[in-house]
Amino acid sequence: SNDYEEEEEKYYDINVIDDESIELELTQLEDQLTESEKLGKNMGNLLLMKASLFYKKRDFPKALKNLELALENFLEEKDLLNVIICHNELGLIHEETGFFDQAIYHFDRALSTLENLDDNIKKIQILNNLGNVYYLINDLEHSYKYYQDALNLAEKEKLEVDAIKTSSNLVEVLVSLKEFERVKKILKRNLEFFTKINDLYGVIQTRIKYGKMYYYLGEEYYDQSYKCLTSVVELIDTIKNQTSLITQKKLEWECFLYLGHLYSLWDNDLEAEDYFLKSLEAVRTFEIQENIKEGIVLEAIAEFYSLKGEDGKAIDYYSYSKDIYQKFGDKLKIGEMKYHVATIFQNYIQDEQKAILYYEEALDIFENLNNAKMAAEILNKLGDIYVSKQMFERALGNFERAKELYAEIEDEHSKNFVTEKINSLKDNDLDVSSL
């Protein structure tokens, strides 16, 4: 959850959606637009207001259309600040609806237009928005770069609030990169800051990040993670009358997800299942269309059922998860979901034909992504299946390809292991031409 989200929502406030008053405002705006057109006045600001009303109604196609019309108007007028605002809002809507390439395009345009203006606060905001999109598509390198650029600028300009919000976003990437010492430093400073200015929303977000950090620090810290997350859930409960349901669920979904993970690790299956499903419900409450976060939760539920030995449910949830990742074009995740399903068919259901089918589909994806490690892993597993089916020539072919890839990534241990399998097939003088 990013710390600039709240700020964006002030511009497009979605906390109270009163359709009647929106319709009335839209009618009034239409009259003003007709009047402005007659008088040849610039209509950009009115179109921008109209877009924000459609956004409140969750009518994204109309919001986008009016933003694009507003953008044309502002470009004609050479009104650069409003050009930037339009590109930024277009980027945010595209991000929210999963069109990440479009979002990046508009944020980039906003950033390049900003070069002509001296507005560091806006620049920090756009850099954060770029960091957020790249984080969502798992491009940690670009995400880190944009957050770090934003942080450097905020610190250089002594903009404390912006530095705090940016560092809070940066923490997400640093946790993924396992840079825990830096994470601890940032979270300590941020918690002190939000406590000092009595910003409960900031305190909650920081405590959620503490809970995640402790979870990723490993087994010795699970108790601390649990304490953090359960106390945050209680804290969110105390502010639910002052915040919208959407904001509340955006804060809760990760707490529930990680509590589910913890209960699962502690073999408390009933609690784990309950929290995973609560997390899914939270995401489905605040999402507009499918949300990448739903894919993450569905995947966690699939893993949980897989560990419990509920193979049918696990396969279903991996498939639901894959469908979400497919909509967002996350090829790595699609490959991983197919790989997990193949493993269940191979190891637990003992349906070798289906295992081969899913492994082959996953292999295609990993080869196209040049992911040699996963490709080698799959070729190795396919080799094992073909040995058990006594299709020795195919097995040998897969083992040979796996060996080449293990050599390429300098994984000596796996290379030696697969070499033993190759030698064993050859030594046993098996009829490798039998298919």
340 close to 322: Cβ distance less than 8 angstroms: no
Contacts of 179 (CB under 8 A, 6+ apart): none
In tens, the pLDDT along 314-341 reads 998 898 888 888 877 788 889 999 999 9
| Angle, CA of 269, 272 and 277, to the nearest 5° | 125
Percent of the chain with pLDDT over 90: 52
Q: How crowded is residue 433: how many other Cβ atoms within 10 Å of its Cβ?
A: 7
Is 281 a member of any domain? no
Identify residue 351 by its one-letter amino acid code. D
pLDDT by residue (tens digit) across 256-272? 999 999 999 999 999 99
Pairwise CA distance, residues 346 & 352, whole Å: 6
- Cα–Cα distances (Å) from 192 to 159, 187, 214, 244, 425, in that order, read 17, 8, 18, 26, 64
Q: Which domain holds residue 73?
A: 1-117
Residue 428 lies in a domain: no
The label of the residue with tokens 């770029």 reads 130
Query: Each residue of 21-64: pLDDT tens digit?
Result: 766 766 666 666 566 565 656 667 777 887 887 787 777 888 88
| 44 falls within a domain | yes
Which candidate, 138, 56, 42, 134, places its Cα nearest to that of 89?
56
Determine, yes or no, domain membership for 93.
yes
Token duo for residue 30:
């239409």
Mean pLDDT for the chain? Answer: 86
Span between the terminal Cα atoms of the chain, in Å:
53
Q: Give me the pLDDT at residue 302, please.
A: 92
402 assigned to some structural domain: no
Asked whether residue 55 is assigned to any structural domain, the reply reads yes
Q: What is the distance between the alpha carbons of residues 105 and 114, in angstroms, rounded to a whole number?
A: 14
| CA 112 vs CA 80, 107, 162, 181, 254: distances in Å | 11, 9, 20, 34, 34
pLDDT of residue 432 exceeding 50, the answer is no
pTM for this predicted structure: 0.74
Structural domain tally of the chain?
1
- Residue 9 in any domain: the answer is yes
Please report whether residue 96 resides in a domain. yes
- Token pair for 75: 């470009």
Structural contact between residues 20 and 222, judged by C-beta atoms closer than 8 angstroms: no
Q: What's the CATH code of the domain at 102?
A: 1.25.40.10
Question: Which residues, in sequence order, are CB contacts of 286 under 8 Å at separation 6+?
Answer: 246, 249, 250, 253
